[in-house]
């Protein structure tokens, strides 16, 4: 939610989303809207997720043969600094390409790239939308390099394989920066920023109809998604555009779900380790810090800083009241435990509610 302080000490909350979609012939579709996009087959995405707040976007989608190709133009906002009452907050933009190839009925391979640039240059001059980045052809890194590498470039890929009738193995690889000789050396060089995801999901296992199981592992090194110019990080409205943890973590998340008629039962378990930043230091978790403020060039590892271990358990049951807009009554219990070398925090709470579940909201981190 966005909130704005009112003169009388209150807050105004707003959340608007929607889009206009136009089908242009047999192969093309155009969307203009304010909302979210998600790339991948997992619960999380290391490429682009629906974790952050809604944003303005324009999307072109092409479906030809076994190929699906998306070009996505986004406007994002950095709310840490307000330029003026008239101008509002600082803006930045991304051009994203996503090429998905159905190699067979069981194998799908996708390629991803994104360029992030700010609306103003390093001298504070207005830059606006860079026309060179409006190119709809995938792999923009050479374009970004040709103008002096001032911006943030990311590359990635996604793979899913269907095994049997109900099993799916999937994975992602995201590349921010890397130096090949430093990767081989294994010295924990700060700019070796490559993250990956491995996952498995199955439907109706052991012949049990309406049972679903999913498990997933995500690994993201320190300083991933950050940039030397902080506004050019891979974030929006103070939230990461990929995984909600930001960087400097590994995570294992699993689900068991079952439904009978209109009754739905869910259990979720998360185990993760991440490194929090001590006061005044940058160990790589907060993507809104410039990587030029890093503590060390070498010897970096996941969990550096204040190593924090998270255990999260959630069990819930719900009853679907109206399928047309997913209105359901739900009840559940959450146990969340955070542990460091010097402190342990445990939270337990029960919840009950009436909800529509139209959007994903992530509270499990």
Domain for residue 329, yes or no?
yes
Domain count, the chain: 1
What is the reported pTM?
A: 0.90
Quick check: 257 and 212 in contact, CB under 8 A? yes
Question: The domain that contains 62 carries what CATH number?
Answer: 2.40.160.130
The predicted pLDDT at position 126 comes to 66
Q: Assess if residue 49 is contained within a domain.
A: yes
Q: What is the pLDDT of residues 104-134, one digit of tens each?
A: 999 999 999 999 988 876 556 666 677 777 7
Domain encompassing residue 169: 20-355
Measured CA to CA in angstroms, residue 192 lies from 46, 55, 75, 177, 214 at distances of 16, 30, 28, 6, 29
Q: For residue 142, what pLDDT is reported?
A: 63
Task: Note the pLDDT of residue 254.
Answer: 97
Residue 257 has pLDDT above 80, yes or no: yes
Is the residue at 5 inside a domain?
no
Per-residue pLDDT tens over the stretch 280-330:
899 999 999 999 999 999 999 999 999 999 999 999 999 999 988 889 999
Look at residue 135 and tell me if it is in a domain.
yes
Band of the pLDDT at 179, cuts 50, 70, 90? confident
Residues 80-106: pLDDT tens digits? 877 666 667 888 999 999 999 999 999
Q: What is the pLDDT of residue 81?
A: 72
Within a domain: 132: yes
pLDDT at 148 over 90: no
Q: pLDDT by residue (tens digit) across 328-355?
A: 999 999 999 999 988 999 999 999 999 8
| Domain annotation covers residue 363 | no
Do 350 and 333 contact (CB within 8 A), yes or no? yes
Query: Is residue 14 in some structural domain?
Result: no
- The answer to whether residue 77 is domain-embedded is yes
């Amino acid at each position: 939610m966005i909130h704005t302080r009112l003169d009388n000490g209150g807050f105004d909350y707003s959340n608007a989303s929607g889009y206009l979609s136009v089908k242009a012939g047999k192969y093309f579709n155009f969307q203009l809207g304010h909302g979210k996009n998600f790339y991948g087959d997992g619960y999380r995405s290391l490429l682009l997720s629906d974790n952050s707040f809604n944003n303005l976007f324009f999307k072109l989608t092409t479906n030809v043969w076994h190929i699906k190709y998306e070009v996505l133009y986004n406007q994002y906002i950095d709310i840490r600094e307000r330029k003026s009452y008239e101008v509002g907050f600082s803006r930045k933009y991304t051009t994203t390409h996503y090429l998905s190839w159905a190699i067979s009925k069981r194998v799908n391979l996708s390629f991803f790239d994104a360029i992030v640039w700010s609306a103003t240059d390093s001298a504070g001059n207005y830059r606006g939308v860079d026309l060179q980045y409006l190119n709809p052809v995938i792999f923009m890194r050479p374009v970004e390099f040709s103008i002096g590498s001032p911006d943030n470039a990311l590359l990635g890929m996604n793979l899913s394989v269907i095994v049997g009738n109900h099993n799916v193995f999937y994975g992602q690889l995201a590349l921010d920066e890397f130096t090949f000789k430093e990767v081989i050396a294994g010295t924990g060089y700060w700019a070796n920023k490559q993250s990956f995801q491995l996952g498995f999901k199955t439907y109706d296992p052991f012949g049990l109809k309406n049972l679903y199981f999913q498990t997933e592992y995500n690994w993201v090194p320190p300083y991933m998604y950050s940039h030397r110019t902080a506004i050019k990080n891979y974030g929006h409205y103070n939230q990461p555009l990929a995984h909600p943890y930001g960087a400097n973590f590994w995570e294992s998340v699993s689900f068991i779900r079952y439904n009978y008629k209109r009754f739905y039962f869910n259990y979720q378990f998360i185990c993760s380790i991440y490194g929090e930043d001590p006061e005044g230091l940058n160990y790589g978790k907060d993507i809104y810090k410039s990587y030029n403020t890093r503590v060390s060039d070498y010897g970096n590892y996941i969990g550096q800083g204040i190593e924090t271990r998270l255990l999260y358990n959630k069990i819930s049951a719900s009853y679907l009241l109206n399928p047309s807009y997913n209105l359901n009554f739900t009840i559940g219990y959450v146990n969340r435990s955070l542990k460091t070398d010097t402190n342990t925090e445990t939270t337990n709470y029960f919840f009950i509610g009436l909800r529509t579940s139209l959007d994903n909201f992530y509270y499990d981190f």
